[in-house]
Amino acid sequence: MIERKEIVISGGGLAGLIAAAAFGNSGYKVLCIDPKKSKNKSQQENLDMRTTAYLQPSQIFLQKIGVWQLVDGSSAPLKTMRIIDAAGKKLTVKDFNSSDISGTPFGWNVRNSDMRAGLLAKIKTLPNVKFEMGLSTLSTTTRSGMARVSLSNGHIVDCSLLIAADGRDSSIRTQAGVAVKYTDFDQSALSFSVTHEVPHNNISTEVHKTGGPFTLVPLPDFEGKPCSAIVWMDNSENMDQLKSLPNTVFDNLITERSGGVLGKLTSITYCNKWPIVSQLTDYFYAERTAFIAETAHVVPPIGAQGLNLSIGDIEALLQLTDSSANDIGSLKVLKKYHQIRRPIAQSRVIGVGLLNRASKVEGTMATHARAMGLNAIHKIKPLRHVLMQLGIGLR
């Protein structure tokens, strides 16, 4: 049986679901599929302990497509970014306040499980969107007028536009023969949540020493205690050992690594480990196919860039399809999408890569230079403002 849709989205991670909600909200007939089977809440939460900081432009877009309203209650605003260089004898502490550049926070932190629940609730209200779990794309064939998608249940779907949101190892991208530039930083990130003694006051804190940043991002209180999400980056070898430490030893270690900025830290969730890599595809499109999110780019988790960049992809693609007379997957639309989004992604891949290398440095001279750089950026007001605007995607 051959089914017909306007858009097929392959991949129902956060980016695929945001795309399904956005294109569905604009009235397109959408099928979104993902091989993962539906899980009960606790199993699902065990899969992904991460939180995501949604920066101002992403929050505005999610509001526009009717999703933010469903997650707002479980978000925590990020009003100040505190950067601490803890490598020397003396801590260098610099605050970057959102009030310097606008009347709203830099962003809002939301658990991935809460965002996913909000997106599924939104998609349920859209009769033109079908999200099927336990189903994957096996192969695709494209012609100038349409894409034909073969699914793992034997069904075939024809569509005008195929959106590949099937992640960093995308099989659609491989089949299309589009090359990827890949950098392995030989680091891993541990992500987990903690409660702590000192309130975070909506300040997101990055502590730099060696090996990579240790970031504490505000969350709403947990069981009456102040709560934050942690992303801790360090050399992969160190991270393998840390993950298997007993809880009390681990909690002492993270309290020490945080410089004690929020008092004693107590881990309250399972700890996930992620490899730190960056990736960028040569092209953001193939015939009838748009590559979005981690299919197109991967950046290290510094400065909350990854999913925010993906939301920018979705917004740009939606604007282009909405204004494309009647062929949403035409070469003209896809080329324009590539021209708009690839340079932006490339600049983020390079920028975040440089920040990561600066954070990894070891040795007195190098860490001293990093602390001086931080001082200089903070001191020069126009530079500080530009960097803050760049960081949240307002430039």
Ligand X SMILES: Cc1cc2nc3c(=O)[nH]c(=O)nc-3n(C[C@H](O)[C@H](O)[C@H](O)COP(=O)(O)OP(=O)(O)OC[C@H]3O[C@@H](n4cnc5c(N)ncnc54)[C@H](O)[C@@H]3O)c2cc1C
Binding site for ligand X (CB under 6 A): 10-16, 33-36, 50, 52-53, 136-137, 165-167, 171, 189, 191, 231, 274, 293-294, 301, 304-308, 310
Is the CB of 12 or the CB of 226 nearer to ligand X?
A: 12
HEC per residue, the chain: CEEEEEEEEECCCHHHHHHHHHHHHCCCCEEEEECCCCCCHHHHHHHCCCEEEEEHHHHHHHHHCCCHHHHHHHCEEECEEEEEECCCCCCEEEEEEHHHCCCCCCEEEEEHHHHHHHHHHHHHCCCCEEEEECCCEEEEEECCCCEEEEECCCCEEEEEEEEECCCCCCHHHHHCCCCEEEEEEEEEEEEEEEEECCCCCCEEEEEECCCCEEEEEEEEEECCEEEEEEEEEEEHHHHHHHHCCCHHHHHHHHHHHCCCECECEEECCCCEEEEEEEEEECCCEECCEEECHHHCEECCCCCCCHHHHHHHHHHHHHHHHHCCCCCCCCHHHHHHHHHHHHHHHHHHHHHHHHHHHHHHCCCHHHHHHHHHHHHHHHHCHHHHHHHHHHHCCCC
**Cβ of residue 201: shortest distance to ligand X, in angstroms?**
19
Pull the structure tokens for residue 381. Answer: 């007001």
The letter for the amino acid at 307 is L
Q: 154 burial class (0-12, 13-18, 19+ CB within 10 angstroms)?
A: exposed
**Cβ of residue 109: shortest distance to ligand X, in angstroms?**
7
Is the CB of 189 or the CB of 317 nearer to ligand X?
A: 189
The strand order across the sheet containing 51-55 reads 51-55, 107-111, 76-78
Contact 84, 208 (CB under 8 A): yes
Is the CB of 19 or the CB of 374 nearer to ligand X?
A: 19
Is the CB of 270 or the CB of 327 nearer to ligand X?
A: 270
Contact 238, 273 (CB under 8 A): no
**Cβ of residue 377: shortest distance to ligand X, in angstroms?**
21
**Cβ of residue 138: shortest distance to ligand X, in angstroms?**
7
Q: Which residues pair with 267 in a beta bridge?
A: 194
By beta carbon distance, the residue nearest ligand X is 13
Measure CA of the first residue to CA of the last residue in the chain; give whole Å.
47
**Cβ of residue 373: shortest distance to ligand X, in angstroms?**
23
**Cβ of residue 290: shortest distance to ligand X, in angstroms?**
13
Is the CB of 291 or the CB of 367 nearer to ligand X?
A: 291
Is the CB of 33 or the CB of 349 nearer to ligand X?
A: 33
Is the CB of 310 or the CB of 330 nearer to ligand X?
A: 310
**Cβ of residue 100: shortest distance to ligand X, in angstroms?**
21
Is the CB of 24 or the CB of 306 nearer to ligand X?
A: 306
**Cβ of residue 123: shortest distance to ligand X, in angstroms?**
14
Is the CB of 324 or the CB of 387 nearer to ligand X?
A: 387
Is the CB of 62 or the CB of 371 nearer to ligand X?
A: 62
Is the CB of 311 or the CB of 328 nearer to ligand X?
A: 311
**Cβ of residue 114: shortest distance to ligand X, in angstroms?**
13
**Cβ of residue 10: shortest distance to ligand X, in angstroms?**
4
**Cβ of residue 237: shortest distance to ligand X, in angstroms?**
18
Q: 26 burial class (0-12, 13-18, 19+ CB within 10 angstroms)?
A: middle
